[in-house]
Structure 1
Amino acid sequence: MSKSLQAIRGMNDILPEQTPLWRYLEGSVASLLDGYGYRQIRMPIVEFTELFKRSIGEVTDIVEKEMYTFADRNGDSLTLRPEGTAACVRAVLEHGLAGAGQTQKLWYIGPMFRHERPQKGRYRQFHQIGVEVFNLDGPDIDAELIVLTWRLWGLLGIRDAVTLELNSLGTSEARATYREALVEYLAARADQLDEDSRRRLSSNPLRILDSKSPETQALLIDAPKLADYLDDESRVHFEGLKARLDVAGIPYVINPKLVRGLDYYSKTVFEWVTDQLGAQGTVCAGGRYDGLVEQMGGKPTPGVGFAMGIERLVLMVETLGKVPAEIARQIDLYVCAFGEPAELAALSLAERLRDQLPGVRLQVNAGAGSFKSQFKKADKSGALYALILGEDELAQQVVGCKPLRDQGEQQSIAWDALAEHLATCLEQP
């Protein structure tokens, strides 16, 4: 017997029962970003591997362990994108979108790919919404990104379940000085580090700061602090950001060990975290990457952005019971028709109602069936009302209108009055 076909581990189908919540979340974010003046950009899923090696850093876990990389028929090394910022920067450079100091406020949405160990909230194909801003270097735009995410949490009803963590990584020069001091401190205690941290000591020592090892964290208590090595420019920038968040009334926690997992960050870094999702506590994260565009071959261009995982947003909204009631219902009206004359009339009626009630979700029964079977399908659809057309209704030029979600009585409504009647019924809470 041949093996049954299945999805690749960590790459999941999103079933029809799940997609309404996804569309609600995606639509909420899109509307919010439109309201703040951000424009959508769409990039390819596949890029040249060199793009990610150059931007993310060859000694990061993503590039070393997690990328889906392959050679195409021309022998080029290609990679399924593991994150969106590098691809967005490539597009901005390729099309000259940030030339001559042009400000760009962009957002994107789509699948990303990392070969990680699948677990709840972390998958090998996952979906992100990302925001990137170019040619604005002040703390005001950093604050705007955080403010708009704060507004999103309010819209979704999850604001009480998330905490904002902030840090400043300083400039690359300040960070290099700090790195030397940190390596000197840790190298003298290398035998006390966990295996991952010993490996990172020579390649990416700042990542040791967020080690999950309790022994390593205990060792870091007396280690040099990044805040003590900040340059004046970064310090002023960070104070400006905090002042704006204070004015906006957004609470935050300074986390000196927050460094993010990508090499291109500088100055501001932030994460929205939660204790509602177990080990996968980060809901949204980002920061400033003022050197990345130049690193990728462009002129010096300030940049800042964030990304949020849609899977984790879905989990948050479901876990906290914040799924709007209307999301679970996909159909408002279900038309039951008995006999071919009624079926023909039902088709005409349905199209007429769609014209008269824009946005109504209406399904006409297909496949005929008995009175009992059609009503069973109407109930299963989740519709609020069943519209009934049979021989008697056709003769009287009326439509039966039966509530399916309460104990109301079936009514007979004249064709000409039906749209007005249904509009009133569907407006009721």
Structure 2
Amino acid sequence: MINKVKGTYDVLPNELGKWYFLEQKIKEITKKYHYYELRTPIMEYSNVFHRETELSDMVTKETYNFVDKGNRDVTLRPEGTAGIIRSYVENKLYVASDLLKVYYVGPMFRYERPQKGRYRQFNQFGLEAIGSKSSLLDAELIKLSNDFIESLGLENVTIQINSIGDSESRTNYLNALVSYLTPFYEELSNDSKERFKNNPLRILDSKDLNDQKIIENAPKPIDYLSSYSKKYLDDVLKYLEIFNVKYNLNNKLVRGLDYYSEVVFEVLADIKGLGNGNVLGGGGRYENLVSELGGPQTSAIGIAFGIERLLLAIEHQEIVKEEVSEIDSFIITFSENEKLYGAKIFNLLRDKGFNVDIEFNNKNFKQQLKKALAKNSKTLIIIGENELKNETVTLKNTKTEIQTEIKLKDLITNLEKEIK
């Protein structure tokens, strides 16, 4: 037996109800906020993600990279934003509109330790608003995120907000953070020692318990904001109050990708059993990614939700009940000759829009009946020697157990009455 690749999973037919529910809510929220779908390849040239300015763990340690037959470096996308921006630049989408609002849904790939809500192939629903630096736009995207969570029926979910400021703010803060952490360097985890050299800001997001004790008293980004960034954050919060969005200011919040600036935010669930999957989504504003990928200097903001984490939350709160399949009729036959007659009826009813099924294998009456009841068939169409000879069928209601032999020409009228 060959098993699935570690860190991947199969979505079985009986599990798809939750997926359909979530996909429908995505369509509804994106239509409401005028975001349009953009689909990009699951693989990109590696320099789309492996940029000199991007030193996050995701890019430096977790990407799936390979050299193709043309000796080109290719990477399976670990996140959606960079590919969207590559497409934005390559197709010159900035020419047609000063603000492009798009969304994406699809698989991403990261080589990390699989655990609940975290896989090596996983799916994201993301949104990007490209072309405007507007505190109102930031607030609208956060409002969208809040509305989306509410539309799913999820409870105990909060919006966490922070600001890491503009380049001036970030420089001032990084200097203060490095000064604070330097005496604790030897006590830091190995990952945080590496982050200290490349991106000290990421230490604030460490899950190591000893690291968390060290950073408890670390300086906070919000205390080092420039006057511009302070006002920008204040304006976003004012708009959120107008939109009646509840939020928590989280001074320790940073995002995992280096391109973020100004306002960053997360959608955090307090749902027992989610474990590390409690962050359902996160995002923020970014200033330089478009220009780094060859486009004009353009500001943008985005958010990405983990589909598997949303599904896990939906499952834990029992929001979507497993759908019970039901069909209008199941056709039971006893011999090959009767199966030919049954196939004629099967085709007729399907063409008329009825949801019907038939036994394809050679099974006895009892086995066919068991299958029909397992499919919650409302009626049975039974065809034996007598029915074949007289061009009739026996129509049986599975609830009342009343059965009647009727002419084939009267089947549709009678079946309509029974399934009502």
Give me the TM-score of the superposition, normalised by structure 2.
Answer: 0.89
Instruction: Establish whether residue 369 from structure 1 lines up as the match of residue 370 from structure 2.
Output: no
Equivalenced residue count is 411
Which moved further from structure 2: 18-27 or 178-187?
18-27
Decide which of 50, 55, 76 is 1:53's aligned counterpart.
50
Which moved further from structure 2: 247-256 or 204-213?
247-256
Instruction: Establish whether residue 154 from structure 1 lines up as the match of residue 139 from structure 2.
Output: no
Where 1:389 maps in the other structure, the secondary structure is: strand
Decide which of 116, 120, 144 is 1:124's aligned counterpart.
120
CA distance 1:340–1:288, change in 2 (3 Å): same
Decide which of 284, 293, 296 is 2:293's aligned counterpart.
296
Decide which of 372, 378, 398 is 2:372's aligned counterpart.
378
Is residue 331–residue 362 contact of structure 1 (8 Å, CA) maintained in 2? Answer: no
Report the AA paired with residue 232 of structure 1: S
Following TM superposition, by how much is the alpha carbon of 1:245 offset from its aligned partner in structure 2, in angstroms?
Answer: 2.6
Where 1:200 maps in the other structure, the secondary structure is: helix
Is residue 332–residue 369 contact of structure 2 (8 Å, CA) maintained in 1? Answer: no
CA distance 1:273–1:419, change in 2 (3 Å): farther
Where 1:54 maps in the other structure, the secondary structure is: coil
CA distance 1:378–1:142, change in 2 (3 Å): farther
| Counterpart Cα distance in 2 of 1:292 and 1:61 | 18
Instruction: Establish whether residue 287 from structure 1 lines up as the match of residue 284 from structure 2.
Output: yes
Decide which of 13, 16, 29 is 2:13's aligned counterpart.
16
Following TM superposition, by how much is the alpha carbon of 1:223 offset from its aligned partner in structure 2, in angstroms?
Answer: 2.2
CA distance 1:334–1:197, change in 2 (3 Å): same
| Counterpart Cα distance in 1 of 2:43 and 2:70 | 15
CA distance 1:24–1:342, change in 2 (3 Å): farther
Is residue 337–residue 368 contact of structure 1 (8 Å, CA) maintained in 2? Answer: no
| Counterpart Cα distance in 1 of 2:164 and 2:70 | 41
Decide which of 21, 28, 38 is 1:31's aligned counterpart.
28
Report the AA paired with residue 113 of structure 1: F
Map 1:385-424 to 2 at 5 A.
385-391=378-384, 395=390, 400-403=395-398, 407-410=399-402, 412=404, 414-418=410-414, 420-421=416-417, 424=420
CA distance 1:19–1:102, change in 2 (3 Å): same
CA distance 1:83–1:333, change in 2 (3 Å): same
| Counterpart Cα distance in 1 of 2:96 and 2:74 | 31
Which moved further from structure 2: 108-117 or 149-158?
149-158
Deviations 1:26-74 (A, max 9, x none): 233123323332211111111111110128x442111221111111122
Following TM superposition, by how much is the alpha carbon of 1:136 offset from its aligned partner in structure 2, in angstroms?
Answer: 2.9
Where 1:198 maps in the other structure, the secondary structure is: helix
Decide which of 58, 67, 71 is 1:71's aligned counterpart.
67
| Counterpart Cα distance in 1 of 2:144 and 2:357 | 37
- 1:82 counterpart residue number: 78
Is residue 381–residue 393 contact of structure 2 (8 Å, CA) maintained in 1? Answer: no
Map 1:19-418 to 2 at 5 A.
19-54=16-51, 57-99=53-95, 101-158=97-154, 160-276=155-271, 277-326=274-323, 329-338=324-333, 339=335, 343-344=339-340, 346-354=342-350, 356-357=352-353, 361-380=355-374, 382-391=375-384, 395=390, 400-403=395-398, 407-410=399-402, 412=404, 414-418=410-414
- 1:427 counterpart residue number: none
Which 5+ residue runs of structure 1 have no aligned equivalent? 425-429
| Counterpart Cα distance in 2 of 1:398 and 1:145 | 59
Report the AA paired with residue 42 of structure 1: R
Following TM superposition, by how much is the alpha carbon of 1:399 offset from its aligned partner in structure 2, in angstroms?
Answer: 5.9
| Counterpart Cα distance in 2 of 1:361 and 1:302 | 52
State percent identity of aligned pairs: 38
Is residue 265–residue 287 contact of structure 1 (8 Å, CA) maintained in 2? Answer: yes
| Counterpart Cα distance in 2 of 1:97 and 1:348 | 54
Where 1:177 maps in the other structure, the secondary structure is: helix
- 2:2 counterpart residue number: 5
CA distance 1:231–1:330, change in 2 (3 Å): farther
Report the AA paired with residue 370 of structure 2: K
Is residue 98–residue 132 contact of structure 2 (8 Å, CA) maintained in 1? Answer: no
| Counterpart Cα distance in 1 of 2:411 and 2:62 | 61
Report the AA paired with residue 282 of structure 2: A
Is residue 38–residue 102 contact of structure 2 (8 Å, CA) maintained in 1? Answer: yes
Report the AA paired with residue 37 of structure 2: Q
Following TM superposition, by how much is the alpha carbon of 1:207 offset from its aligned partner in structure 2, in angstroms?
Answer: 0.6
CA distance 1:270–1:332, change in 2 (3 Å): farther
CA distance 1:32–1:393, change in 2 (3 Å): farther
Where 2:74 maps in the other structure, the secondary structure is: strand
- Please, what is the CA RMSD of the aligned residues? 2.6
Which moved further from structure 2: 203-212 or 310-319?
310-319
Report the AA paired with residue 383 of structure 1: N
Following TM superposition, by how much is the alpha carbon of 1:183 offset from its aligned partner in structure 2, in angstroms?
Answer: 0.8
Which 5+ residue runs of structure 2 have no aligned equivalent? none
Following TM superposition, by how much is the alpha carbon of 1:169 offset from its aligned partner in structure 2, in angstroms?
Answer: 1.7
Is residue 107–residue 130 contact of structure 1 (8 Å, CA) maintained in 2? Answer: yes
Which moved further from structure 2: 37-46 or 21-30?
21-30
CA distance 1:95–1:330, change in 2 (3 Å): farther
Is residue 168–residue 268 contact of structure 1 (8 Å, CA) maintained in 2? Answer: yes
| Counterpart Cα distance in 2 of 1:81 and 1:410 | 59
Give me the TM-score of the superposition, normalised by structure 1.
Answer: 0.87
Following TM superposition, by how much is the alpha carbon of 1:85 offset from its aligned partner in structure 2, in angstroms?
Answer: 0.5
| Counterpart Cα distance in 1 of 2:332 and 2:75 | 53
Report the AA paired with residue 378 of structure 1: A
| Counterpart Cα distance in 2 of 1:163 and 1:350 | 52
Where 1:137 maps in the other structure, the secondary structure is: coil
Where 2:276 maps in the other structure, the secondary structure is: coil
